[in-house]
A and B are shown apart, each in its own frame.
Chain A
Amino acid sequence: MEQVDKQEGPGVATTRADDPWYEAVPSAGVTYEEATAPGAGPADGVPRQRVHSAAEIYLEVQRSPAFQEVRRRYRRFVFPATLAFLLWYLAYVVAATAAPGLMARPVAGSVNVAMVAGLGQFLTTFLLTWAYARHARLRRDRAALELRWDTQEMTRGVAPR
C-alpha cells in the first residue's frame, strides 16, 4: 500500500483536476513540496520534510473535536438503531417459528397478529430508512464534508499513493 509508486507531487496536482482517482490518497513517509494548509496544525505553511506525514495528519484529525463529534453523532444514531431493528426482526422470526398460536390470534376480520407484525416490519424498515437519511443529511453531512476538505488540504502533496 505505501511507498509503491513514487509519483511526484506536482504531477499529482496536474492530474487531480480531471481525474478524481488521483485525488490525494495519502500514505506515510514520502517527501512533499507543498506547504500544508494554513492554520492546520504545527506545520503552519512551512514546508518541512517528513515532519508531517499523512499518518500523523490522520491521527491528528481523528483526535480533533470536530471529528469526534461527527463520529459520536453517527454512532449514537446507528448503534442503538441497529440493535433495535435486529432485535425486532429476531423477535419476529422466533415468534413466527416458535409461537404460531400467538401469531394466529385475529386482530380484525381475516387480519391476524402475524400479518400486522409482518407489515410492521416493512413499515419500521421504511421509517428507519427515512429517519437515518434525515439524520445524516441534517446532523452529519456538512461537518463531514468540511472535515473532508480540511483533511485533503492537509494531506495534499504529502504522499500520493
Chain B
Amino acid sequence: MTGSHQTLALVLFSVFVAVTLGITTWVSRHRHGSAEEFYAGGRLFSPLENGFAIAGDYMSAASFLGISGLIALYGYDGMLYSVGFLVAWLVVLLLVAELVRNCGRFTLADVIAARMAERPVRIAAGSSSVVVSVLYLVAQMVGAGSLVALLLGGTSEAARSWTVVGVGALMVIYVSLGGMRATTWIQIVKAVLLMAGTITLTVLVLLRFHGDVTALLSTAAERSGHGLDFLAPGLRYGGDWTARLDFISLGLALVLGTAGLPHILSRFYTVPTARAARRSVVWSIGLIGGFYLMTIVLGFGAAALIGPGAVRASHASGNTAVPLLALDLGGGAGSTGGTVLFAVVAAVAFATILAVVAGITLASSASVAHDLYRSLRRRHSTPYSEVTVARFAAAGIGAAAIGLGLLARDLNVAFLVGLAFAVAASANLPVLLYSLFWRRFTTRGAVWSVYGGLVPAVLLVLLSPVVSGSPEAVFPGLDFHVFPLQNPGVVSIPLGFLAGWIGTVTSPEPADAARHAETEVRALTGAGAV
C-alpha cells in the first residue's frame, strides 16, 4: 500500500468525520433535551429515512469486508452468512417491528414492562441489552482498529490503539451531543455511501466479465484451485461434526438474534406509527438484500480477479479482499483509478464502523438510563434528569468499549459478532415473543427467560474453546473448556425459551388478564401508542 493511498484515504476519513460532526452540531441547535428527542429523534423520521438508517445500523464493516473476504477465500461457505443475516429480517418484519413500535417507548424493556411487574423486568431486560450492546460494540471497535491500521499500512500496535480510542471518542461526541437525530442522519449518510461504493464495485466486476455471471463463477472456481468444490458448501465448515454443529448453531443465532438487538429495536421508535415501522423494514430488507447479493458478486469477483492466494497473503482471514479488488478494478497498483477506488473503499469502511458504533452506543445508553437507572435510582430524584444520565452513560459505555476494545484487540471479530447475536437470541428474543404472543406469560416467566438465556449463553462461551484450550483462544496457556462449540446458540436459545415457560407455569400468581388485553390491543391496533 503506497503513500498516495494513505493520504487520499486519510483526507476522505477526515471529510467524513467533519461532515458527521457538522450534522451533529446542526441537529443539536434546536435541541430541548426531552427523552423523546434524545432516544427517538422526535419520532418524525419517514419510512424511507428510517429504512436507510436501519440498513446503515445493520450493515457493518464485518459484512462489507468480512463476508466478501470469506467468499473470496472459501467460496460458497461465505455465502451462508449473508443468507442468515438477511432471512433474520423476516422475523423482525413479521413478528416484532410493528408490535414493538405500538407497545414500547424507547427500549425493549418498555414492551415487557407494559404487562409485568416493572422493576425486576426492567432490570433483567436492561442488563441483557447492555451485555449484547457491549459485546457488539467491542467487536466493532476491534474491527475498526485492525481495519484502519491495515488499510493505512501502519499495522503498529500504537496505530491500532489510537484508532480504537479515536473511534470511541467520536461516538461519544455524536451520541451525547446529537442523540438519536444525529445518529440517524449519520447512519443514512453511511448507508448511501456504502450502497454507492458497493454498486460501483459490483458494476465494475460485472463489466469485467461482460455481464456473464457464469463466466465469473467458473473463473473464480478455476482460480481458487478447488475447482467446482469452490462453488459448493464444505470448504470451511465441512470438517468434523463439531464444526458442522457449530455452524448450525451460528446460523440459528444469526436468524433469531437480529430481532433481539437493542439498537435495531430502538430504530422502530423513530417513526410515528406502526405502519411507518413496517414500511421502514420493507425498505431496509430491500437495501440489505441488495447489499448482500452484491457482496457475493464482490467475493467471487475477488476470487476470480485476484485469487485466494493473493488475498490470503494480504490478510489471513480475507478482510482486505474488497480493497484489493478495488485497486485492481481501478487499474492496478500505482494507477490513479486504483488509488482513488482503494481510498474510497477504505473511507466507506471507516464510515460504516463509526455509524454502527454510534447506533449501538445510543441504544445501550438508553438501556442504562431508561431501564437500569430508572429502576435502581432513589425514589425522590428528579425524573427529567434521565437524558442527562443517558449522555453520561454514553460516555461511560464509550470508555468501557475503548478499554475492552484495547484488551480484546486480538480476538476474532466474527466470533464476537456471532456471540452478540447468540446472546440477543437467547436472552432478548424469547421474552419479547412471549410478552407479545402468550396470554399466560408472567413476571417470573419474563425474568427467568432473560436470565435463563443470558447466563447459559455467557457461561458456555467462557467454557468454550474460544476462551481456553485452543491455540487461538483468549488464554491459550490454560485449558478449562468443556463445551465443544464456539457459538452457544443451539443450546442457549432453547434454554431461554424453556426457562420462560418453566417460570410461567410455576408462577404463584396468574397473568394479569387486563394488562395482557391492553398489550394485545395496543400492539395490534396502535391505540395509545406514543
The chain A residues found within 8 Å of chain B, CB to CB, are 1, 20-21, 23-26, 28, 54-56, 58-59, 61-62, 67, 70-71, 74, 78, 81-82, 85-86, 89-90, 92-94, 96-98, 100, 103-104, 106, 109-112, 114-115, 118, 121-122, 125-126, 128-129, 132-133, 136, 141, 144-145, 147-148, 151-152, 155
Contacts and interface: CB of A to CB of B under 8 A. Distances in A.
Q: Is the interface of A mostly helix, strand, loop or mixed?
A: helix
A39 B56 CA distance: 48
A130 to B, nearest CB: 8
B238 A70 contact: no
Contact of B517 (A61, A70, A132): A61
17 contacts: A1-B113, A20-B530, A23-B528, A23-B530, A26-B528, A58-B514, A58-B521, A67-B521, A93-B248, A97-B237, A103-B232, A104-B232, A110-B221, A126-B286, A129-B89, A129-B282, A151-B527
Interface string B271-295: 0100100110010011001001100
Contact of A67 (B84, B93, B278, B525): B525
Contact of B518 (A55, A86, A100, A104): A55
A62 B439 CA distance: 12
A24 B233 contact: no
Interface string B85-105: 011011101110010000000
Task: For the complex of A and B, list the 4 residue pairs with the smallest distance between their C-beta atoms, beginning with the closest.
Answer: A104-B232, A151-B527, A55-B514, A100-B234
Interface of B: 36, 43, 76-77, 79-80, 83-84, 86-87, 89-91, 93-95, 98, 113-114, 118, 214, 217-218, 221, 228-229, 231-234, 237-238, 244-245, 247-248, 251-252, 255, 272, 275, 278-279, 282, 285-286, 289, 292-293, 513-515, 517-518, 520-522, 524-530
A99 to B, nearest CB: 9
Nearest to A77: B94
B94 A110 contact: no
Given A100-B234, A125-B90, A133 B214 contact: no
Tell me which of A86, A97, A126, A152 has the highest count of chain B C-beta atoms within 10 A of its own C-beta: A97
B87 A89 contact: yes
Contacts of B285: 125-126, 129
Contacts of A144: 524-526
Contacts, number: 178
Given A125-B289, A136-B275, A147-B521, 10 more contacts: A23-B529, A82-B90, A96-B233, A100-B234, A104-B234, A115-B76, A121-B86, A132-B94, A141-B275, A152-B528
B94 A82 contact: yes
Contact of B238 (A100, A126, A132): A100
A71 B524 contact: yes
A148 B232 contact: no
Contacts of B529: 23, 148
A147 B113 CA distance: 23
B244 A28 contact: no
B46 to A, nearest CB: 16
A24 B528 contact: yes
B270 to A, nearest CB: 13
B525 A70 contact: yes
Given A20-B43, A54-B518, A145-B526, A133 B83 contact: no
Given A58-B517, A109-B218, A121-B86, A97 B233 contact: yes
